[in-house]
Chains A and B, each alone.
Chain A
Amino acid sequence: MSQALIDMRGIRKAYQTGSVTFEALKGIDCEIRHGEMIGIVGPSGSGKSTLMNIMGCLDVPTDGEYLLDGRRVDTLSSNDLADIRNQKVGFVFQAFNLLPYATAFENIEVPLLFARVGSRKRRRRVTELLARVGLADKAGNKPTEMSGGEMQRVAIARALANEPNIILADEPTGNLDTASGAAIVKLFDELHATGKTVIIITHDVGIAQHTDRIIKLRDGRVEGNGNLA
């Protein structure tokens, strides 16, 4: 049996506000293999984004064990987690989260800067990625000069900058029209076809149907783990 890429056991996440404790995740067990395309679904407040943040090492669990590609990451330092986010994980957010004053080129370049890639190599890589997402002619455009679909494609290109194994997308089509959304989903399909592990939080049944497997969350727990029923 091949090693799971993501292996979570008993993951809990609690938030303290004064004397009140809120548990967003109440003991999540899940496994995701290399090359899978997973949909995470559930009602609002079920813990989807919290789970994704922990998967992507953007946050740490309060309790439980998290192995990423065989390595225990729930106890790593903030520097190690930052390195994982830079090298192994690519985030795509619903709100795009591009640097508003930077061009498309410069936005995609940011992870490469943090990875200390040389300028020539950086230029080559960004040009490649822009072409891959169909935005070669938009390199010098700022986010205010692009449509929602174009911004999301820039975000995807940024997520791919250091060739991570995992793409984590939180409602990537939530702010897009149908056509743009479809284009984004097509991109994810293409990435999946190249062997990347793609994990998408979505309310969209259509997108969920593209995935290999659905993880259903409710009230911080896994309610279902399989095909969309």
Chain B
Amino acid sequence: MELTTLYNVFVRDFRRQKKRIALTLIALAWGTITIMLLLAFGEGLHRQMAINSRGMGQNIGVMWSGQTTKTYQGLGKGRRIRLFKEDPAFLAERIPEIKLIGGEYSRWGIKVTFADKVLNEHVAGVQPSWETMRNFIPEAGGRMINSLDIEKRRRVAFIGYDLANRLFEDQSAVGKQILLNAIPFTVIGVMIDKMQMGNYEGMDEDIVAIPATTFKAIYGDPWLDYIVYQPHDPKDMPEIEKKIFEAMGARYRFDPTDDRALSIWDTVAGNREFNNIMLGIKMFLGIIGFLTLLIAGVGVANIMYVSIKERTREIGIKMAVGARKSFILKQFLIEALMITFFGGLVGMLVSYAATEGFKSVPIQSDVLDFMGRPTISTETGIIVVVILGIMGVLSGLFPAMRAASTSPVESLRYE
């Protein structure tokens, strides 16, 4: 019953000050749009960066050779620790936490020829598991290197998207023959165009990937350049790293605590740091948006104070005919909350429409591919609703308390 009374009184009072309330609503809507779009921008950036960071591969560890810095079992420091083609299988046997593991060879400055085009490029000898671990995903119509290619040491090549464009332009690359330092290879697939934020040996869009066994047969590299692995559970990465050092330390006789003997890049740890940075950026954007919204909230409080001052006599009249202090408090608090609610609602609807509209516009842009499009997440919506709620209460509470504490006699005398 009291809510009905409050609503009836609110509707009546609202009619009196439509213009003032409308202006306050606009300010609130504007503040809400600002914070929503800033948070949406941060969210879109975060999501796109996360996608981009997975371009190189998701939750992988990359290992390469190092040098000992500690003496061990009579052996001096400064020894180079190399990786060999048997090491992946060795580690897979001993570390059950590893899901996938493989070795990679690498060589730069290989002459890649097609028709009259000659380019100097990076060639890598890889495993079939690179399709999963390193996102070497083929475009439709092609395929990635498979176990038969490895077994038979086929002269097949899987090339990066950008390299394919440079070599073949508008032609389809699959099935064509290219020369790698005058050795013919058949292109079996082209990698999809992907965003890549990290790399350990050049960008994948420029790579020529051939079977690791073929690479060794042709170029005769005695050791691997990299070992790449992927865990069952990303949380096991520190444990895997420890076991790698123990196993390889025993195999190659170096101190397992010598963290320079091997170099390992844990992308899971990197992602955690990346997420923390993104969180920091989002918080910063959120603070800026919040400050803008706060100004609107100050506007609401100001409006409420002015409104209460102008309505002092009216408050006195209501008290004279029996309004309790709590009613007066609730009346003005609800007024502030409703103004905040409707202003916020308009702001949220406009923000949502703007971001969805922007997403549906088919703009092709490297900037957008890198930074993503603004995205409103559920989390963003909840944060903004909570902020609006707190702001509505605060901007209305103090003016409302002041109104309720008015003496009816003084209020009735107010001109």
Contact = CB atoms under 8 A, between A and B. Distances in A.
Which of the listed residues B9, B314, B317, B325 has the most CB atoms from chain A within 10 Å of its own CB? Answer: B317
Given A79-B326, A99-B314, A91 B409 contact: no
Interface stretch (A34-42, A112-120, A128-136, A208-216): A112-120
A83 B1 contact: no
B324 A99 contact: no
Interface in A154-201: 158, 161-162
A100 B5 CA distance: 19
B322 A116 contact: no
Given A83-B322, A97-B313, A102-B12, A113 B409 contact: no
Contacts of A59: 407-409
Contacts of A86: 321-323
Interface residues of B, number: 27
A114 to B, nearest CB: 4
A87 B322 contact: yes
Given A85-B321, A99-B314, A158-B321, A114 B5 contact: yes
B313 A101 contact: no
Given A58-B409, A99-B314, A114 B321 contact: yes
A78 interface: yes
B242 to A, nearest CB: 70
B15 interface: yes
Nearest to B5: A113
Interface in A103-117: 106, 110-111, 113-116
A116 B319 contact: no
Interface in B129-175: none
Contacts of A56: 320
A186 to B, nearest CB: 24
A93 interface: yes
Chain B interface, DSSP helix/strand/loop, else mixed: helix
Contacts of B5: 113-114, 116
Interface string B300-337: 00000000000001101111111111110000000000
A48 to B, nearest CB: 13
A58 B323 contact: no
Contacts of B408: 58-59
For the complex of A and B, the 9 pairs showing the least CB-CB separation, nearest first, are A86-B322, A101-B16, A111-B321, A114-B322, A82-B324, A116-B1, A85-B322, A113-B5, A97-B317
11 contacts: A58-B409, A78-B325, A79-B325, A85-B322, A100-B314, A106-B12, A114-B318, A114-B321, A114-B323, A114-B327, A162-B322
Contacts of A102: 12
Contact of A97 (B1, B409, B412): B412
A110 B324 contact: no
Given A116-B2, A116-B5, A82 B323 contact: yes
Given A58-B408, A97-B412, A116-B1, A78 B12 contact: no
A58 B320 contact: yes
B8 interface: yes
Interface residues of A, number: 29
A115 B322 contact: yes
A58 B412 CA distance: 10
A97 B320 contact: yes
A225 interface: no
A101 B365 CA distance: 57
A82 B9 CA distance: 17
B109 to A, nearest CB: 85
B103 to A, nearest CB: 82
A56 B323 CA distance: 14
Contacts of B313: 97
Contacts of A101: 12-13, 15-16
Which of the listed residues A56, A78, A114, A115 has the most CB atoms from chain B within 10 Å of its own CB? Answer: A114
Interface in A15-43: none
Contacts of B319: 58, 82, 85
Which of the listed residues A59, A83, A85, A99 has the most CB atoms from chain B within 10 Å of its own CB? Answer: A99
Given A58-B319, A110-B321, 14 more contacts: A53-B409, A56-B320, A58-B320, A59-B408, A79-B325, A79-B326, A82-B322, A97-B313, A101-B15, A101-B16, A110-B317, A110-B318, A113-B9, A116-B2
Interface in A44-80: 53, 56, 58-59, 78-79
Contacts of B2: 116
A49 B203 CA distance: 90
B12 to A, nearest CB: 6
A78 B322 CA distance: 10
Contact of A111 (B9, B322, B327): B322
B331 to A, nearest CB: 11
Interface in B1-60: 1-2, 5, 8-9, 12-13, 15-16
A195 B350 CA distance: 62
Nearest to B318: A110
Contact of B324 (A53, A78, A111, A161): A78
Contact of A91 (B12, B16, B320, B325): B320
A122 to B, nearest CB: 10
